């Protein structure tokens, strides 16, 4: 093996092999990985400093108490050694290959999402929607995805009228829903809550947003939208703008884009910069990244401009929020020098960061992006429930 770049350590648990990543040189890492693939089916690359906590977690089979990043890597190792597809908590739970397969599945499911074809792949399956925080798109698109595939949904309903208000712990709620359902989609205000739920559930958990942590199902629909517009994910220049500190969508998306070799421009007011640990993670994955406060100066070179809302609900101090509110406002006039193929995305809801004048331009993609939530979540539900999406899905009127 390429000893200089990395070394393989047999985690001595079945056939999982961990490659310790001590090089940011992507081609050396790829060479090492392919050499390791020849001796084992399950390979995972991890940064050097995480190796000890990961081996501890794996050998003791305990995730509780590990830092979230270690939990992410351990889930990846466990998924690769084929124990169980534990769910989707961060983008670390999916390999690049799995991401592309899921995007292909999503593409084939478009006629089903549009209602042109009925394909009851998930008949008899029940999704538990556990939303402890407001959600419109994520909850509704999960529900639409499940129902269009012939499955059913049970909802926790309004947290204020559920047993949570009586003091039920998250653990108890999960135990109950675990017994009622085949898969859980969960949103929670606390960072790390989705991982905790996964650790206490037997069914797969899909993280629909954990506080300022991660939002991987959003990332899958974002990647789908980018690939739909540009034909590929590789080598694009992507500007992520707005609240990079508390915005969980950009935490998950920046990681995924880096793994596909995109160049990132992180545009934010200094108070809302991308957290240090996420920047470190991006660098460890070989990121090409620039930080700036100048959004408008970054637009003309961009292939994608991803705007975000300032996450008012995450500020401990209202005055801090007032200082940055309205920091970026994109108007159609700002797009005159943009590439014709550049797309503007937003996870929604928007406040004032994209002026309605942008909606009618060729660049606006945010409403299609929201629609794509249905296909991306359909493909994820099938994957996690172990159901294959057929290679030929009728285009409509045939099923
Ligand atoms: N807060 C967002 C909304 O309004 C949540 C989401 O889209 O997932 O829907
Ligand atoms: N809907 C996204 C989320 O739930 C973005 C937002 O709320 O601003 O993270």
**CB < 8 Å & 24+ apart, contacts of 329-335:** 329/353, 329/354, 329/355, 330/295, 330/305, 330/354, 330/355, 330/358, 331/355, 331/357, 331/358, 332/357, 332/358, 332/360, 332/361, 333/357, 334/296, 334/299, 335/299, 335/361, 335/363
Ligand nearest to the CA of 248: 2
Q: Are 305 and 369 in contact (CB under 8 A)?
A: no
Residue 157: the pLDDT is 78
pLDDT confidence bin for 166, thresholds 50/70/90: confident
Residue 220: the pLDDT is 98
Structure tokens at 208: 């629909």
Which atom of ligand 2 lies at the shortest distance from residue 137's CA? 1
2 pLDDT above the threshold of 90? no
**DSSP track, 78-128:** HHHTTS---EESSGGGS-HHHHHHHHHHHHHTHHHHTTSS---TTTT-EEE
pLDDT confidence bin for 7, thresholds 50/70/90: very low
User: Both 137 and 204 in a single domain?
Assistant: yes
pLDDT confidence bin for 139, thresholds 50/70/90: very high
Residues with CB under 6 A from ligand 2: 209, 215, 248-249, 309, 347-348
CATH of the domain at 117: 3.40.50.1370
Map residue 135 onto helix, strand or coil.
Answer: coil
Which atom of ligand 1 lies at the shortest distance from residue 370's CA? 7
Span 322-364, pLDDT tens digits: 999 999 999 999 999 999 999 999 999 999 999 999 999 999 9
* Kind and range of the H or E run holding 17: strand 16-21
User: Both 103 and 203 in a single domain?
Assistant: yes
Cis peptide before 156 (omega within 30 of 0): no
Q: Is residue 248 part of a domain?
A: yes
Q: Please choose, from the candidates 313, 315, 297, the residue with its C-alpha nearest in 3D space to the C-alpha of residue 305.
A: 297
Q: Which domain holds residue 34?
A: 6-83
Number of domains observed in the structure of the chain: 3
pLDDT confidence bin for 29, thresholds 50/70/90: low
Which atom of ligand 1 lies at the shortest distance from residue 347's CA? 7
User: Both 66 and 103 in a single domain?
Assistant: no
Q: Is 190 a catalytic residue?
A: no
Mean pLDDT of the chain: 86
For residue 249, the CA-to-ligand 2 centroid distance in Å is: 7
Q: Is 323 a catalytic residue?
A: no
* Number of helices followed by number of strands (H, E) in the chain: 13, 13
Nearest CA to ligand 1 atom 5: 135
User: Both 274 and 337 in a single domain?
Assistant: yes
What is the DSSP secondary structure assignment for residue 296, as one 8-state letter? Answer: G
**Domain final residue pick, 83, 118, 143:** 83
Question: Is 138 near ligand 1, meaning CB less than 6 Å away?
Answer: yes
Q: Are 267 and 296 in contact (CB under 8 A)?
A: no
**Domain final residue pick, 34, 59, 83:** 83
Span 233-257, pLDDT tens digits: 999 999 999 999 999 999 999 999 9
Single pTM value for the model = 0.79
Structure tokens at 61: 């089979």
In Å, the largest CA–CA distance within the chain is 59
Q: Is residue 91 part of a domain?
A: no
User: Both 103 and 195 in a single domain?
Assistant: yes
**Active-site residue identified among 86, 138, 249, 308:** 138
Residue 270: the pLDDT is 96
Nearest CA to ligand 2 atom 8: 309
Question: Is 135 near ligand 1, meaning CB less than 6 Å away?
Answer: yes
Q: Is 139 a catalytic residue?
A: no
Which atom of ligand 2 lies at the shortest distance from residue 309's CA? 8
User: Both 158 and 235 in a single domain?
Assistant: no
Read off φ and ψ for residue 318, nearest 5 degrees: -60, -35
On the CB side of 364, CA atoms within 13 Å amount to: 15
Q: Is residue 94 part of a domain?
A: no
35 pLDDT above the threshold of 90? no
Residue 249: the pLDDT is 97
pLDDT confidence bin for 164, thresholds 50/70/90: confident
CA distances from residue 74 to 90, 220, 265, 364 in whole angstroms, order as listed: 11, 21, 29, 38
Nearest CA to ligand 1 atom 9: 136
- R_g of the chain, CA atoms, integer Å: 21
For residue 82, the CA-to-ligand 2 centroid distance in Å is: 32
Nearest CA to ligand 1 atom 2: 135
User: Both 189 and 267 in a single domain?
Assistant: no
CA 142 from centre of chain: 14
Q: Please choose, from the candidates 243, 246, 169, the residue with its C-alpha nearest in 3D space to the C-alpha of residue 214.
A: 246
Map residue 291 onto helix, strand or coil.
Answer: strand
Pocket test for ligand 1, best of 208, 220, 349 (most atoms within 8 A of CB): 349
Q: Is residue 392 part of a domain?
A: no
CA 257 from centre of chain: 11
Residue 17: the pLDDT is 54
Structure tokens at 144: 């639409």
18 pLDDT above the threshold of 60? no
User: Both 117 and 79 in a single domain?
Assistant: no
Dihedral sign (CA 236, 241, 246, 248): negative
For residue 244, the CA-to-ligand 2 centroid distance in Å is: 12
Q: Is residue 397 part of a domain?
A: no
Q: Are 66 and 185 in contact (CB under 8 A)?
A: no
Work out the percent of the chain whose per-residue pLDDT is above 90. Answer: 68
Q: Is residue 76 part of a domain?
A: yes
Residue 6: the pLDDT is 35
User: Both 140 and 250 in a single domain?
Assistant: no
**Active-site residue identified among 215, 227, 255, 377:** 215
Work out the percent of the chain whose per-residue pLDDT is above 70. Answer: 78
Question: Is 134 near ligand 1, meaning CB less than 6 Å away?
Answer: yes
For residue 157, the CA-to-ligand 2 centroid distance in Å is: 19
First to last CA, the chain: 51
User: Both 179 and 231 in a single domain?
Assistant: no
Map residue 226 onto helix, strand or coil.
Answer: helix
Q: Which of 10-24, 260-274, 301-315, 321-335 has the lowest mean pLDDT?
A: 10-24
Q: Is residue 394 part of a domain?
A: no
User: Both 200 and 247 in a single domain?
Assistant: no
Q: How many CB atoms neighbour CB 380 within 10 A? A: 26
For residue 225, the CA-to-ligand 1 centroid distance in Å is: 17
User: Both 242 and 355 in a single domain?
Assistant: yes
Question: Is 191 near ligand 1, meaning CB less than 6 Å away?
Answer: no
pLDDT confidence bin for 107, thresholds 50/70/90: very high
pLDDT confidence bin for 56, thresholds 50/70/90: low
Q: Please choose, from the candidates 251, 240, 256, 259, the residue with its C-alpha nearest in 3D space to the C-alpha of residue 277.
A: 251
Span 148-163, pLDDT tens digits: 999 999 998 777 777 7
Pocket test for ligand 2, best of 193, 214, 215 (most atoms within 8 A of CB): 215
| pLDDT greater at residue 217 or residue 32 | 217
Q: Are 358 and 329 in contact (CB under 8 A)?
A: no
Measured CA to CA, the distance from residue 227 to residue 219 in angstroms comes to 12
For residue 293, the CA-to-ligand 2 centroid distance in Å is: 21
Nearest CA to ligand 1 atom 1: 135
Which atom of ligand 1 lies at the shortest distance from residue 138's CA? 8
Q: Is residue 234 part of a domain?
A: yes
Q: Is 137 a catalytic residue?
A: yes
Span 177-204, pLDDT tens digits: 999 999 999 999 999 999 999 988 889 9
């Amino acid at each position: 093996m390429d000893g200089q770049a990395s070394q393989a350590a047999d985690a001595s648990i079945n056939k999982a092999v961990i490659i310790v990543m001590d090089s940011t040189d992507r081609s050396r890492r790829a060479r090492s990985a392919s050499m390791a693939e020849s001796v084992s089916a399950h390979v995972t690359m991890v940064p050097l400093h995480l190796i000890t906590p990961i081996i501890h977690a794996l050998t003791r089979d305990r995730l509780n108490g590990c830092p979230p990043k270690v939990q992410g890597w351990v889930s990846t190792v466990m998924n690769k050694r084929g124990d169980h597809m534990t769910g989707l908590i961060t983008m670390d739970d999916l390999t690049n290959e799995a991401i592309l397969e899921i995007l292909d599945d999503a593409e084939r499911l478009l006629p089903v999402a549009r209602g042109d074809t009925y394909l009851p792949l998930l008949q008899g399956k029940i999704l538990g929607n556990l939303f402890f925080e407001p959600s419109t798109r994520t909850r509704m698109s999960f529900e639409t995805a499940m129902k269009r595939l012939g499955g059913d949904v049970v909802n926790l309903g309004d947290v204020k009228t559920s047993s949570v208000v009586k003091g039920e712990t998250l653990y108890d709620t999960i135990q109950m829903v675990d017994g009622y359902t085949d898969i859980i989609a969960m949103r929670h205000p606390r960072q790390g809550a989705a991982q905790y739920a996964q650790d206490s559930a037997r069914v797969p958990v899909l993280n629909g947003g954990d506080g300022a942590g991660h939002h991987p199902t959003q990332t899958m629909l974002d990647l789908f939208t980018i690939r739909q517009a540009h034909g590929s994910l590789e080598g694009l220049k992507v500007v992520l703008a707005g609240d990079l500190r508390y915005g969980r969508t950009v935490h998950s998306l920046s990681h995924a884009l880096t793994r596909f070799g995109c160049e990132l421009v992180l545009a934010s007011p200094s108070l809302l910069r991308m957290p240090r640990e996420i920047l470190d993670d991006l660098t460890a994955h070989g990121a090409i990244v620039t930080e700036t406060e100048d959004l408008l100066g970054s637009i003309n070179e961009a292939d994608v401009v991803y705007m975000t809302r300032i996450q008012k609900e995450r500020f401990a101090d209202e005055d801090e929020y007032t200082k940055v509110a309205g920091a970026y406002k994109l108007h159609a006039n700002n797009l005159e020098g943009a590439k014709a193929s550049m797309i503007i995305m937003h996870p929604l809801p928007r406040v004032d960061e994209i002026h309605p004048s942008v909606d009618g331009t060729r660049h606006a993609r945010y409403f299609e992006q929201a629609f794509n939530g249905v296909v991306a979540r359909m493909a994820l539900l099938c994957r996690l429930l172990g159901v294959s999406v057929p290679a030929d899905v009728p285009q409509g009127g045939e099923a």
